[in-house]
Amino acid sequence: MSDQIQVKTMAEMLANGEEPEVLFWVGCAGSFDDRAKKITRSFVSILNKIDIKFAVLGTEESCTGDPAKRAGNEFLFQMQAMSNIQVLNSYGVKKIVTTCPHCFNTLKNEYPGLGGDYEVMHHTQFLTGLMSDGRLKVEGGSFKGKRITFHDPCYLGRANNEYEAPRNLLAKLDSELVEMKRCKTKGLCCGAGGAQMFKEAEKGNKEVNIERTEDALEVKPDIIATGCPFCNTMMTDGVKNFEKEGSIKIFDLAELIAEAQTN
């Protein structure tokens, strides 16, 4: 990416006596995974263009502990949570936005019991809010008439009952939202959750992401939209498996909105 983006850490802000409007929790995938880093940069570019004062923790951020917790390692999860909460509380963080539904779920639901109370938003909720406040403006343009299907991340959808925010964003793109036969509460997992991302699948007759990609291919989309870096990886791999990567693109909603942003 050549676009210059502006990112300040909490430490830098504090040193300048500034206070951010919101903390952007980047997450491990968003920080280290090559594909997810593009999502991170797209989201930041949206915020930069409309002068949202945000900060990241930078090197002070650490895994939320989500994969450890789902895998059963409650000790490691709570160690991670406690030290993250110490950092967040020491900066007096009140509002967090994240592009990862797993971080979102953990920060929102599991940190309060350990002393970390914040208003936590998924980026699709945050962007929807910016649009309804009139701060963020988009125009469909390049997406006009494109068939887009949305793959619900389990940890945004069923886990937290958020089905509308991502669809609200897609509706602004003048595209044609085509739903897979299994969507919203019945959305099929991409196969990465519950720490599956970090291990081989158990013996079976199919990979979960292949099953899910078949759902998507059925509706003949131009774009598969996702709201989770892990879903993005799984769907990208699935589409490659069917050798459709030439005709079907997988984008995070942050990338689609960044593309359509007019202010």
Partner 1 sequence: MAIGSILFIIFLGAASFLFFRSVRKIRRNILLGRDVERTDNSSLRWKTTLRVALGQSKMVVRPVAGFLHILVYAGFVIINIEILEIVIDGVFGTHRIFSSWIGVDVYRFFINCFEILALLVLLACVVFLLRRNVVKIARFWNPEMKGWPTSDANLILIAEVLLMSAFLTMDAADVMLMQTSAETLASAGLDKYAINWSGSGFTVSSLLTGLLPTDIATLHIIERFCWWFHILGILAFLNYLAISKHLHIILAFPAVYFSNLKAKGEFDNLESVKNEVELMFDPSVDPYAAPPEPDENAVPVAFGAKDVKDLSWKQLMDSYTCTECGRCTSECPANQTGKLLSPRKIMMDTRDRLTELGNYIDKNGLEAEDDKTLINDYITPEELWACTSCNACTEACPINLDPLSIIVDLRRYLVMEQSAAPAELNNMFTNIENNGAPWQFAQADRLNWKDE
Interface positions, 194-213, toward partner 1 (CB under 8 A): 194-208, 210-212
Per CB under 8 A, 71 contacts partner 1: yes
CB of 95 to partner 1, least distance (A): 19
Instruction: Provide the 8-state DSSP code for 224.
Output: E
Q: Going residue by residue from 74 to 113, which x/- string records binding to partner 1, judged by CB under 8 A? A: xxx-xxx-xx--x------------------x--xxx--x
Window 22 to 41, contacts with partner 1 (CB under 8 A):
26, 28, 30-32, 37, 40-41
Are 179 and 149 in contact, with CB atoms under 8 Å apart? yes
Per CB under 8 A, 53 contacts partner 1: no
- What Å distances lie between residue 17 and 53, 61, 73, CA to CA? 13, 20, 39
Nearer to partner 1, 143 or 230 (CB): 230
Three-state DSSP string of 105-172? HHHHHHCHHHCCCCEEEEHHHHHHHHHHCCCCCECCHHHCCCEEEECCCCCCCCCCCCCHHHHHHHHC
Window 116 to 155, contacts with partner 1 (CB under 8 A):
154-155
Per CB under 8 A, 68 contacts partner 1: yes
Nearer to partner 1, 135 or 186 (CB): 186
10's enclosing H/E stretch is helix 10-15
Per CB under 8 A, 237 contacts partner 1: no
Total residues at interface with partner 1 (CB under 8 A): 73
